[in-house]
Amino acid sequence: MHVQFCSIVPPYLLRRLAQQDAPGFSSAASAARNALGHVQSFQAARAQAVPVLPPGLRQVKPGPVNRTIYDAGGEEALPGRLVRDEGGQATGDAAADEAYDGLGHTHRLYADAFGRDSVDGRGLKLDATVHFGKLYDNAFWNGSQMVFGDGDGDVFQRFTKSVSVIGHELAHGVTQYSAGLAYRNQAGALNESMSDVFGALVEQFVKNQSAAEASWLIGEGLFTPKVQGLALRSMKAPGTAYDDDVLGKDPQPDSMDSYVRTSADNGGVHINSGIPNRAFYLVADALGGYAWEAPGRIWYETLTNGSLPAAATFTVFARATARAAADLFGADSPEHDAVGAAWETVKVKV
């Protein structure tokens, strides 16, 4: 399988922002053009092969977290200057300390809820770089580490502010080392959706929130007060996360009835992910309680049990979640029924 450069801000949103000439947004437009060029340059680069984790290794006993935080100092060279390693004192730099805490929260979710030993299942050291670039409007997983920009200050604030963003990006590593879902078309939308699912679960886990208490927002708190919007995406109600004069309206569909066919954004990976996102939310809502328990176990099992092809479609994935629910809880269980009903609601055949 191959490493992909996976970033949290969709290219279509950066493209819209890059074209803006509204008063007060010139720095944001310039920052968006830089971030967009960065995304495009990474996507054009040759992917690097990495080993896929054999399914049997999912059951190893998780070890302790091992985190290292670096500071790029406004440059774009990685990893940057070491500022905090595992067990080290807080730095007083909000971005560095938020990244350190977010990596820890994510590691703890996988260890406690799923018995996974870090991102790769083998105790991978978790590295992150903060203060990447100047006014950099993104956060990304580059195949081996996390990278966070500080935002432009007009539209985006620093990207470490959202635990769901940190969880989202690290989940790309989990997908990379397990199912290896291709980053294009429906498989790519599933890749993005898995990251939203586990990003949301990290946030809910650290806040001890039930499915009913959670916001189901990805990237909540990233926007400045200038933006009319709550977050980058809503899993509960795709298409409602923002509606802004500068950014436009959230384009995510909430069912196959409004599936977006496009060649942009690797075939709409950040747009159509709203469909499987809503399916997961519906399962969690139907079952109640903590979403990292039954719903999270079903999705995690589906991702890591070796049954998904790299080019999985929504239908292939939906059927795999139904099989996982039956294997874990029984074919006549409320969990299996909830999975079937959720995919039916978003118009994906099981």
> Helical H runs in the chain?
11-18, 26-44, 94-114, 163-177, 185-207, 265-268, 274-287, 294-304, 314-329, 334-345
Enter the tokens of residue 321.
């979640």
Instruction: Clarify whether 270 is annotated catalytic.
Output: yes
Q: How far apart, in whole angstroms, are the C-alpha atoms of residue 251 and residue 24? A: 24
Domain contains 1: no
Same domain, 115 and 200: no
Catalytic-labelled residue, pool 168, 270, 335, 336: 270
Q: What integer pLDDT is reported at residue 56 of this predicted model? A: 43
In-domain check, residue 291: yes
Question: 113 φ, ψ to 5°?
Answer: -90, -30
Query: Are 239 and 332 in the same domain?
Result: yes
Task: Tokens for 8, please give them.
Answer: 């949290």
Q: What pLDDT, on the 0 to 100 scale, is given for residue 7?
A: 83
209 and 165 in one domain?
A: no
What confidence score (pLDDT) does residue 231 get? 97
pTM of the model: 0.94
Active site residue 169: yes
Asked if 189 and 325 sit in the same domain, the reply is: yes
pLDDT at residue number 349: 92
Same domain, 89 and 10: yes
List 169, 203, 301, 335, catalytic entry = 169
Same domain, 157 and 202: no
Where does a domain end: 145, 177, 209? 177
Domain that holds residue 241: 185-345
288: CATH: 1.10.390.10
Assess whether 197 and 167 both reside in one domain: no
Same domain? 169 vs 192: no
Q: What is the DSSP letter of 243?
A: E
C-alpha closest to that of 69 among 52, 51, 82? 82
What per-residue confidence (pLDDT) applies to 205?
Answer: 98
Query: In terms of Cα–Cα distance, which of 38, 122, 121, 37 is closest to 72?
Result: 38
222 and 245 co-located in one domain: yes
Provide the b/e sequence for 313-338 (b: ≥16 CB within 10 Å).
ebeebbbbbbbbbbeebeeeeebbbb
For residues 251 and 271, the answer to whether their CB atoms sit within 8 Å is yes
Indicate the number of domains in the chain: 2
Entry field: residues in the chain = 350
pLDDT of residue 54: 52
Same domain? For 69 and 196 the reply is no
350 is a domain residue: no
126: CATH:
3.10.170.10
Alpha-carbon span 68 to 130, nearest angstrom: 11
pLDDT for res 174: 94
Q: What is the pLDDT of residue 230?
A: 96
Same domain, 135 and 253: no
> pLDDT truncated to tens, each residue of the chain (350 aa)?
445 678 889 888 999 888 887 677 778 888 988 888 877 666 554 344 444 555 444 456 899 999 999 999 999 999 999 999 999 999 999 999 999 999 999 999 999 999 999 999 999 999 999 999 999 999 999 888 999 999 999 999 999 999 999 999 999 999 999 999 999 999 999 999 999 999 999 999 999 999 999 999 999 999 999 999 999 999 999 999 999 998 999 999 999 999 999 998 899 999 999 999 999 999 999 999 999 999 999 999 999 999 999 999 999 999 999 999 999 999 999 999 999 999 999 999 99
Residues 122 and 222 in one domain: no
